[in-house]
Amino acid sequence: MNGEQMPVLSIIACEMLEDELVYVLSKDHDLNQLIVVESRQSFRLIRKLKSRNCQPRLFPLERIPTFLKEANDSVFMNPLRLLIKFSFFEKIHHNIREKNKEKTIVVVNTLKLGLHSDCQLLRSEIYQNIRKMADFSDGILIFYGNCGHSLRNTEADFKDLHCSLYFLKDEKGDVVDDCISVALGGNDTYAEVMQSGNGTGMIYLTPMWASSWKEMRMESNDTSEFNESFMKKHYRKVVKISNEISIGSEFDKNVLNYARNFDMSITEMEGSMEIASKSYLNAKNDVCKKTISD
C-alpha cells in the first residue's frame, strides 16, 4: 500500500482469544475504523465490542478492499485538493494526510473454534486468510499461539510477503505456546504453573474455554481432551483463569459444571492481558511508523 493511504492492520484471531481481542480493541481510542469480517463466529465478538462502547463495521471479507478504497478516497480526495496550489491550503492538506496516517484501520477476522485439534487444518486456514488479507493490509497480526508448533514456520513461509507479519510474543520475544500461555502471561508462567502441580493433571479454563468446551466436544469426534474416561483418569484439577472482561456468575457456573462433569477440584488464578496488549500495540505502532515513512 502506498503512502497516500491510511495504515491497515489486519488481525487473524482465534475465537478462543476473543476476550483478549475485545480488551485491546476497546482500550484503543485512536482507531480510524474498526472492521470485523462477517462470519458465524463474529457475532458474539461484535456483541462484546459494543458492550465496551466499540462500534465496529461488519463486512464480508470480499467487500473489505472496496470499502477501504472508498474510505481512503473520501479522506485523501477531499475538496482541499482543488486549493493546494495555494500554499496555505497545501499545508492544511498535508497536515490532514499526515494525521490520518497516524490513525489505523483495524480489520479483524476471527476463525472458528477447534481448529487447534488438527494442526494441518489450522495452518491451512490461517495461511489462506493471510494470503487474502495481505492484498489490503500493511501488516497482519496472527492472534494465535503456536498451537502444537503448527505455525512454527509461518515467517519463513511468507518471507516474500509485501506486508509484515506479527505474532503474540512473551517478554523474551518468543511466540506463546497457546491461548492458555496468553491468558497466564507467557510461556515461563505457564511452565511454572504446570510444575506447581507436582505431577497432578490439570486442565486450564479461561472464560471462553469454560463457555465453549461442550460445543467443541460435539465437533471433536471424541478426541482425548474431551473423552470423559480419559479425562477422569489423567486429570484431577481445573485451573480457573479469570480475565478482566469476563468475571462473573456465568464463568463461575461454567467452571463448576465442567469440574463436576469430570470429577475435578478447582483452583483459581488471575489472568493477564499483557501479552495481548503489548503484541497489539507493537504491531499497530510498527504499521503506522512504516506508513508515515513511505
Residues 144 and 239 in one domain: no
- Provide block-wise average pLDDT over 10 residues at a time, the chain (294 residues): 75 95 95 94 94 94 94 61 53 48 87 82 94 96 89 91 95 93 94 87 93 78 67 89 83 94 93 96 94 69
Q: Half-sphere exposure of 211 toward its Cβ, with a 13 Å CA cutoff? A: 18
Query: 174 near 184, Cβ under 8 Å?
Result: no
How many CB atoms lie under 10 A from the CB of residue 288?
A: 20
Residues 19 and 165 in one domain: yes
Q: Is residue 239 part of a domain?
A: yes
d(CA 245, CA 159): 36
Concatenated DSSP letters for 214-228? HHHHHHTTS-GGG-H
Residue partners of 283: CB distance under 8 A and separation at least 6 = 9, 139, 141, 164, 166
Identify the domain containing residue 278 by its residue range: 8-176+274-293
Residues 158 and 232 in one domain: no
Q: Is residue 202 part of a domain?
A: yes
Q: pTM for this structure?
A: 0.87
- Read off the C-alpha cell for 24: 485491546
Q: Is residue 1 part of a domain?
A: no
Torsion of the alpha carbons at 129, 172, 104 and 12, rounded to the nearest 10: 20
As for how many domains the chain has, the answer is: 2
Residues 126 and 234 in one domain: no
Residues 205 and 281 in one domain: no
- Read off the C-alpha cell for 165: 507479519
